[in-house]
Amino acid sequence: MIMINLDYQSRTPIYEQIVNEVERFVALGILKPKEQIPSVRDLASSLGINPNTVSKAYGILEDRKIIMTISTKGTFIHESTDTIVSEKKKKIMNEILKNVEEYQKMGGSIKEITETIQKKKGE
């Protein structure tokens, strides 16, 4: 059973937190292609939340081709998650590079960015 940690104090909706956690687990290889994940009802029960919330999260994950539901069999991690995760990482990296360019236009330096990242890693 996957262990999803929810922050009930966060401004991020619960369904988004579930989506983010599943995507993170897939990216880290914790959840592997074709691996079965809990049903909507089982996950909702283990998290103590409404099944509609999990259903909404699963719907988003299906739209993103992270999971697939096979009638009478269950819900599984999609076979092609490697490509999807790779594309998402590429998109994030492009956003980072765009922000770095913007930072440099404002007079910031790569050295400052690097130092800030190193400090953050050390926390």
Residue 45 CA: distances (Å) to CA of 12, 19, 42:
20, 17, 5
Name the residue ranges covered by the structural domains of the chain.
14-79, 82-122
pLDDT in tens, the chain (123 residues): 678 999 999 999 999 999 999 999 998 889 999 999 999 999 999 999 999 999 999 999 999 999 999 989 999 999 887 777 788 889 899 999 999 999 999 999 999 999 998 888 777
- Find how far residue 87's CA is from the centre of its chain: 13
pTM (predicted TM-score):
0.74
Q: What are the residues whose beta carbons fall under 8 Å from the beta carbon of 19, sequence distance 6 or more?
A: 57, 60, 61
Burial letters for 79-106: b for 16+ Cβ neighbours within 10 Å, e otherwise? eebeebbeebeeeeeeeeeeeeeeeeee
**Looking at residue 69, what is its pLDDT?**
92
Q: What is the CATH number of domain 14-79?
A: 1.10.10.10
Question: Which pLDDT belongs to residue 80?
Answer: 81
CB neighbours of 67 closer than 8 A, spacing ≥ 6?
22, 37, 58, 61, 75, 76, 77, 78
Q: What is the pLDDT of residue 1?
A: 66
